[in-house]
Amino acid sequence: MAIAFTEIPEALLVPGQYQEIDNSLAGTVSDVKRALMVGTMSASGTATAGKAVQVRNADKAKILFGNGSPAAIMAAEFLKHNTTEELWVLPIAEPAAGAKWNRSFVVSASNAAAGKVAITINGKELSAAVSAGALASDVASAITAAINGTENSPVEAEVVTDSENNTVSVKLSSVVKGVTGNYNTIAITANASGVSVNAQNAVPGTLSPEIEGSLVALGSARYHYIASEFADPANIKAMADELNDRYTALRQIDGRCFIALSGELGDASTANTMLYSAQTINCPHIALVPRGVSVQHPCVWAAAWCAKLSRRLADDPAANTTDIEISDLIAEEYSFDDRQALLENGICTYRIDTSGKLLIERAVTSYTENSDGARDTSYLDIQVVETVSAIRTYINQLARKRFKTWKLARTEENFGAGSKVMTPGVWRSFLAEVYQSHFIQEVQWCQDFDSYKDSIIVEVKAGSKTRLEYRHRPILIGQFYVGAGLNQFQ
């Protein structure tokens, strides 16, 4: 039996006891799961736009990306639900030519009584105190201080005095330029006698940043779970193109991205509805989250779903994700028929429990059609692409660990015990062993060992002495989502 040494030379003559240390058969193979938030940073942020940076706490995110920016909000929301996965943020510069969303609230006061002003910003409630006899300017200043003193508020306030019309207003503006501010839902109500606050028409923000270049610049770093603020067609396409490319055999650094869709449920022919927006995406790596008309920003929904689902799927890519709770989302409830329509169009679903908490019902991908335009459910559930990717990653990592520096032979010779020679038979045995012992018995990702074993084809490429080719057909385990029974009582 020939033993291959790498450190002890064959011609060693100096007496002594020598042992090499080889860890190739010890330990387990795994990779660090990274999450990536993709969101707009404000001009006050210190980070470099377009360059991913690791974030470990929400306070640091506010400094890096600007207090109240979507990037900072997404980091805080993710960390609220998940501190296990390694969090990174890709800050995107606000569109230079864009405009900020803004809305003014005219404040009036006459013989004001002591009380307060109730302020609601995207579902978050604040209040400003009103003193007896306060002037309109006093009330406006109190409102402004309450808003600007709020951590990670997506809007900033200022007092505007119009001496010509003798009015005092509080002007709220989005922290960043672009259309993201158009999702702000603001209500200001005076609960003090003699004080009134009247909302004026909102001025929408304009333009959305382009993220394609920043995604390409991520390079070879792998981000397993991604949440993106951007739901416009151009940026969704850029994300889909990048993720599809990362899934290819030559890159193998794929990940899944969560994007929130907004608007009414609608249908595939009505613009600005969720079903209309979903119909052209068709990517197995993008999961669409039904924000609908929630008062919370789309970036909050995307980050929360990403945080909760990544925590479950990072431990087990084939795990059932039903009833994962996201307690801080404000959501409307969809009927059975609505949820069926959402799923058919590649949009995830949730249900609301009796206490009003959101429970994830079924996490699906946006892939619904094959290249011929026919209905295709091969990537319906997110667990499918997650498990397929995990199987590929595990086999690749284990093979690199176990068979590094091996030779390759076309025939099944007796090369002697302990020899490091790969043959088609050795590789076939390796696949069968991993499938039965790990994929079935240890992690329950797969099933039907006999059929899998019969599917394996291994050969050395004709004319090559370095390339082993193989085909195998893992049979994935499923999700127990539907129980359909016929109760024929007599």
pLDDT in tens, 180-198: 999 999 999 999 999 999 9
What pLDDT does residue 29 have? 67
Q: Percent of the chain at pLDDT above 90? A: 91
Q: What's the confidence (pLDDT) of residue 171?
A: 98
Q: What pLDDT is recorded for position 55?
A: 98
Quote the strand ranges of 339-404, DSSP E: 349-352, 358-362
For residues 89-96, give the mean pLDDT. 97
pLDDT at 26 over 90: no
Q: Residue 49: CA atoms inside 13 Å, Cβ hemisphere, count?
A: 19
Detail the DSSP E strand segments found in 339-428.
349-352, 358-362, 407-408, 421-422
Token match 């510069």: residue? 93
pLDDT band at 23 (very low <50, low <70, confident <90, very high): confident
Model confidence at 448, pLDDT cuts 50, 70, 90, reads: very high
Q: Quick check: 324 pLDDT over 90?
A: yes
Give the pLDDT of residue 280: 93
149 pLDDT more than 90 = yes
Higher pLDDT, 8 or 113: 113
Compute the average pLDDT of residues 441-446.
98
pLDDT at 389 over 80: yes
- In this structure, the chain runs to a length of 490
Average pLDDT over residues 30-50: 94
Residue 365: per-residue pLDDT: 98
Q: What Cα–Cα distance (Å) separates residue 276 from each residue in 233, 298, 337, 345, 376?
A: 11, 17, 17, 9, 19
- pLDDT band at 5; cut points 50, 70, 90: confident
**Is the pLDDT reported for residue 10 higher than 70?**
yes
Q: How confident is the model at residue 15 (pLDDT cuts 50, 70, 90)?
A: confident
Is 128 exposed, middle or buried, given 0-12, 13-18 or 19+ CB atoms closer than 10 A?
A: buried
- Count of alpha carbons within 13 Å of 306, Cβ hemisphere only? 39
Per-residue pLDDT band for 179 (boundaries 50, 70, 90) equals very high
> Taking residues 315-343, what's their average pLDDT?
97
Does residue 2 have a pLDDT over 70? no
Average pLDDT over residues 231-249: 98
Q: What distance in Å separates the CA atoms of residue 305 and residue 312, rounded to the nearest whole number? A: 11
Whether the pLDDT of residue 100 is over 60: the answer is yes
Stretch 329-347: mean pLDDT, rounded? 97
What are the tens digits of pLDDT across the range 356-372? 999 999 999 999 999 99
| Range 241-268 average pLDDT | 97
Residue 1 pLDDT greater than 60, yes or no: no
Q: What's the mean per-residue pLDDT of the chain?
A: 96
pLDDT at 480 > cutoff 80: yes
Residue 16 has pLDDT above 90, yes or no: no
User: Is the pLDDT higher at 142 or at 418?
Assistant: 142
pLDDT at 261 over 70: yes
CA distance 229 to 4: 54
Distance CA 302, CA 290 (A): 9
Give the dihedral of Cα atoms 178, 283, 368, 258; nearest 10 deg: -60
How many whole angstroms separate alpha carbon 171 and alpha carbon 157?
A: 6
Supply the pLDDT for residue 417: 83
pLDDT the model gives residue 101: 98
Cα dihedral 38, 42, 44, 50 sign: positive
First vs last C-alpha separation in the chain: 73
Output the pLDDT for position 19.
87
Confidence of residue 319 (pLDDT cuts 50, 70, 90): very high
